[in-house]
Amino acid sequence: MYASVVAILVVGYVAVVALLAGGLRLSQTMAAALTAAGAALALAPLRNLAQSTVNRVMYGDRHDPASALTRLGTRLQAVRLHDDLIRSRAEVVASREDERRRLRRDLHDGLGPAPAAIGLKAGLAARTKPDGFPDRPGRMSRDGGTRAHPSWPPCGHGWSADSA
């Protein structure tokens, strides 16, 4: 590829020198000098573009430190935000685990003994029932009261808090 580009440029250069020497009746030296100057002026922007591309690829943006610092600052901020996000996630996980431990402890300490206490109170209540109180609950009567036995009056009739 490089050889073909060089060959095309050499052929073009020779053609331009021949046209200038024959058409304007200039000497070979003058025609060669004019062609070289024209080629330099025409190819200078391409050379500058190629050189800046190679410099940017090889060395970065050392000719423009402000943009290099801006990009560096953006990258550092992104890294800082990423670190903050990781730290925040760790704090959320830790606080969630703390809350789970607290709820577990509260349930164990507060709610755990409650069924045992209910069982103990029910056993105590069964042993200390008032005289005439039915042994077990019966079925509902027509008037909405509970009867321990079909021949007994509904519970609550004749009973008061004072008699218990």
Residues 73, 51: one domain? no
Judge whether residue 116 has pLDDT over 80.
no
Q: In this structure, are 11 and 55 located in the same domain? A: yes
Q: Is the pLDDT of residue 98 over 90?
A: yes
Give pLDDT tens digits for 70-79. Answer: 888 999 999 9
Q: What is the pLDDT of residues 17-48, one digit of tens each?
A: 788 778 777 787 888 888 888 888 887 888 88
pLDDT at 81: 95
* Ramachandran angles phi, psi of 139, nearest 5°: -100, 170
Is 114 part of a structural domain of the chain? yes
Give yes or no: residues 12 and 33 share one domain: yes
Best-predicted range by mean pLDDT (34-43, 125-134, 148-157): 34-43
Considering the domain architecture, whether residues 74 and 121 belong to the same structural domain is answered as yes
**CA-CA distance, 17 to 33, in Å (whole number)?**
9
- Does residue 143 lie within any of the structural domains? no
105 with 121, same domain? yes
**Is residue 67 pLDDT above 70, yes or no?**
yes
Residue 40: the pLDDT is 80
Residues 6+ apart with CB under 8 A from 18: 31
Q: Is residue 161 part of a domain?
A: no
- Please name which of 34, 31, 32 lies closest in space to residue 23, comparing C-alpha atoms: 31
- How many domains is the chain partitioned into structurally? 2
Helix, strand, or coil here: 133? coil
Same domain, 11 and 53: yes
Q: Which residue has the higher pLDDT, 123 or 90?
A: 90
Number of Cβ within 10 Å of residue 47's Cβ equals 10
**CA distance to 6, 12, 31, 42, 164, per residue, from 19 (Å):** 20, 11, 8, 18, 134
- 75 and 36, same structural domain? no
Domain boundaries, position 41: 1-60
pLDDT score for 85? 95
Overall residue count recorded for the chain in this entry: 164
Q: Which helix (H) or strand (E) holds 146?
A: strand 146-147
Burial tier of 31 (Cβ tally within 10 Å: 0-12, 13-18, 19+): buried
